[in-house]
Amino acid sequence: MKGEQKKQDSLEYLKAYIARHCGRMTPEQISEELQVPLFAVKMHWPNPVR
């Protein structure tokens, strides 16, 4: 149970970090900075405006 809450917290942190830094960092830089897999960063990356 506790592990699930920790996972949720880190997901919220990841989303917030991406929201703050997506303008000046690439997904690759963020995944390296936070030590998370690149696909996880790209999954929450805002879609480019079409």
DSSP structure string for 1-50: -HHHHHHHHHHHHHHHHHHHHTTTS-HHHHHHHHT--HHHHHHTSPPPP-
Q: How many CB atoms lie within 10 A of CB 41?
A: 23
What is the average pLDDT score of the chain?
Answer: 88
Residue predicted with more confidence, 49 or 3: 3
Helix (H, G, I), strand (E, B) or coil at 46: coil
* Separation of alpha carbons 37 and 31, rounded Å: 6
- How much is the pLDDT for 4? 85
Q: What pTM, to 2 d.p., does this model score? A: 0.75
* Separation of alpha carbons 25 and 21, rounded Å: 6
